Amino acid sequence: EDQVTQSPEALRLQEGESSSLNCSYTVSGLRGLFWYRQDPGKGPEFLFTLYSAGEEKEKERLKATLTKKESFLHITAPKPEDSATYLCAVQAWETSGSRLTFGEGTQLTVNP
Amino acid sequence: DTAVSQTPKYLVTQMGNDKSIKCEQNLGHDTMYWYKQDSKKFLKIMFSYNNKELIINETVPNRFSPKSPDKAHLNLHINSLELGDSAVYFCASSQQAGDEQYFGPGTRLTVT
């Protein structure tokens, strides 16, 4: 069974204080690892897909990296508007379907 | 234009009632999904349709029945609602099974 564990559960940062969120996974053949951002009362918003170990993707202050066992979401010089819950999900190779298995998320708060 | 829309946004009903949630996507995607997010914010897939064909059917009570009248719509009907059905239900879509998924705003269901 695919499993995703995110840490920490919650993270408070001061504006400008860089940090990283962790996503550890076990999956029977990784097809893709996805990062989403979820604001309160809204649906998850797609950020990145990573497909193979060593791959990196960047978007503004966010950078996602992938190894064979985990992914990191690095946040450089965060701003208050980066406050949200960040969700990691994995997708395994299957004969049919494309289920995403989500972690429980990291709730990030960036204080001004 | 809203990419993935759901109605209603809020649904409050009594135990034993039957209710439906509607989802529409205007992205031209082939695959649509239903997820349930519980009080701990954990997102879990329920169903997936590809070109109106059911491809994922997780262990969900028979009281839940998805229906896809066409590629752009995926509705969720719930019979004999129970207290434990209270959650936020998200619809999502992707170009094809395996691609990144785009989520709707969610429907908060409260069963009293």
Of B43, B56, B106, the CB nearest to A97: B56
How many angstroms separate the Cα of A100 from the Cα of each of A60, B32, B34, B74, B98?
A: 25, 12, 11, 18, 9
Tens digits of residue pLDDT in B45-75: 999 998 888 888 888 899 999 999 999 999 9
B10 — contact with chain A (CB < 8 Å)? Answer: no
B106 conformational bin, left if phi > 0, alpha if psi -120 to 50, beta if neither = left
Angle at A72 between CA A71 and CA A74, to 5 degrees: 160
* 3-state secondary structure at position B106: coil
d(CA B56, nearest CA chain A) in Å: 6
Tokens matching residue A89? 């999900």
Contacts of B45 in chain A (CB under 8 A): 99-101
The pLDDT of residue A95 is 53
Residue B21: band (very low, low, confident or very high) from pLDDT cuts 50, 70, 90: very high
A78 contacts A16 by C-beta, under 8 angstroms: yes
Say how far apart CA A107 and CA A49 lie, in whole Å. Answer: 20
Of B48, B90, B99, the CB nearest to A43: B90
Share above pLDDT 90 across residues of chain A, in percent, rounded to a whole number: 87
